[in-house]
Amino acid sequence: MALTGKGSWIWKIKSCEAGNATAIANAATSASFTHVPIKIADGPYQYNYDRIAKVDLISPVREALRIRGILVWGWHYVYGYDPIGEANIAIQQIQRLGLDGYIIDAEHEYKEPGKATAATRFMNALRAALPNLPIALSSYRFPTLHMAMPWTEFLNKCDYNMPQVYWELAHNPVTQLTRCVNEFKAITPYRPIIPTGPTYSTGDWQPNDYDIQRFLDTAKNLGLTGANFFSWDECRASTPSLWNIISKYAWGAPPLTIINYYINALNTNKVDQILALYNPNAAHITAARTIQGTEALRTWYNQLFNSIMPNATYTLTGIGGSGNTRSLTWNAISGSNVFNGSDTLGIQEDRIIYHFSALKKV
């Protein structure tokens, strides 16, 4: 059976719901997760084991998730310096815990000279002991930029490819995920892709709600069966709005369009939600004026939400357009006032780059 739906990686169990197994399972159930990958090893060593108390932290979480019908996969950061030792700890943990699948997290260490041989030894030992277990590779999102990685040696014996599609310092998940899938389709062997998106911050950057929505929608548009996020630890603690987006996202529902996102953002009456849809240099054009850039747009939407149409409720009444241009009509009720609106949106890399709009009070 193919792995489908949503999941979030757990790095350190103690950083997730204070390590409470029942709370973890409850949160996963509320988010409609079908699977949860948990770190089980690092190199040749067991992970998520309390060495002071001598307590295994994984087993109670696995059991709590299983009771709720959620698959439990193990993930393992590998270095390739001791491939047999790494294979042995993986086999030991998988068999002891009775896991549903296993993810190999191989990164820059595996780009060093001679690591193709290490990958072959590792995969041969793994598959000899676990011939039927679903196994996935998690590594870089663009193989053309990391040709030293032994892709073939890993993927030959994997069932899935789970690339880390982390669009750090940008807000273009559609472009990056599409490129990722196309690049992997061009190499042999191709394995079904279940990408992992970021739900963490780095410096001043973090993904926004719209990024996460578009990442999920693009995964479905590309025909992928599921998507993951890294990691539960940071997301629940530091970016809870992203968790909320993931939790509410119905994997089985049709993907939304930029028009849906625009109307939904208007209905939040929150300026930051609407600005996330725009390119930073976008132009907004009406019969009376043209403005450009994030700060000018912020001023306009503050005026719209606070003065012109406070606490309005927007309803989509018509859609049109194709390619990089979309059009829509809508009506809105603000107190006792009714408005009709029409908009034409120019789209570039899934953000609004120009916006013609007209607004009329009825």
Backbone angles phi, psi at 278, to 5 degrees: -100, 145
Query: Where are the extended beta strands (E) located within the chain?
Result: 5-8, 33-42, 45-46, 49-50, 55-56, 71-78, 101-106, 135-138, 160-161, 196-198, 226-230, 278-285, 290-292, 313-322, 325-334, 337-348, 351-361
Contacts of 243 (CB under 8 A, 6+ apart): 31, 199, 235, 236
Arithmetic mean of pLDDT, 280-295: 96
Give this prediction's pTM: 0.93
- pLDDT tier at 269, thresholds 50, 70, 90: very high
Q: Is the pLDDT of residue 349 over 90?
A: no
For 122, the token pair is 């590792």
Q: Which CATH class is domain 5-248?
A: alpha beta
Domains 5-248 and 258-361 share a fold: no
Arithmetic mean of pLDDT, 228-246: 97
Share of residues in the chain with pLDDT > 70 (%): 100
- pLDDT tier at 259, thresholds 50, 70, 90: very high
Strand partners, 109: none
> According to the CATH classification, is domain 258-361 in 3.10.450.50?
yes
Arithmetic mean of pLDDT, 193-222: 97
Q: Is the pLDDT of residue 16 over 70?
A: yes
Q: Is the pLDDT of residue 183 over 70?
A: yes
* 231, 193 Cβ separation under 8 angstroms: no
Q: Is the pLDDT of residue 167 over 80?
A: yes
Residue type, 264: N
For 333, the token pair is 């009720």
Please write the tens of the pLDDT for every residue from 77-124.
Answer: 999 999 999 999 999 999 999 999 999 999 999 999 999 999 999 999
Residue type, 14: K
Arithmetic mean of pLDDT, 167-173: 96
Q: Is the pLDDT of residue 289 over 70?
A: yes
pLDDT at 1: 58
What is d(CA 165, CA 36) in angstroms, rounded to the nearest whole number?
18
pLDDT at 172: 95
* 326, 344 Cβ separation under 8 angstroms: yes
Contacts of 124 (CB under 8 A, 6+ apart): 157
The mean predicted confidence, pLDDT, of the chain is: 97
Share of residues in the chain with pLDDT > 90 (%): 97
For 71, the token pair is 């698959």
- pLDDT tier at 286, thresholds 50, 70, 90: very high
pLDDT-wise least confident of 86-90, 149-153, 189-193, 250-254 = 250-254
Render 204-249 in DSSP notation, one character per residue: TB---HHHHHHHHHHHHHTT-SEEEEE-HHHHHHH-HHHHHHHHH-
Q: Any idea where the domains of the chain sit in the sequence?
A: 5-248, 258-361
Arithmetic mean of pLDDT, 227-247: 97
- pLDDT tier at 350, thresholds 50, 70, 90: confident
pLDDT at 313: 97
Arithmetic mean of pLDDT, 268-282: 96
How far lies 264's CA from each of 162, 239, 277, in Å?
30, 20, 11
For 297, the token pair is 């747009």
- Range 95-114 burial, b when 16+ CB lie within 10 A, else e: eebebbbbbbbbeeebbeee
- pLDDT tier at 57, thresholds 50, 70, 90: very high
C-alpha atoms less than 13 angstroms from C-alpha of 336 in its C-beta half-sphere: 0
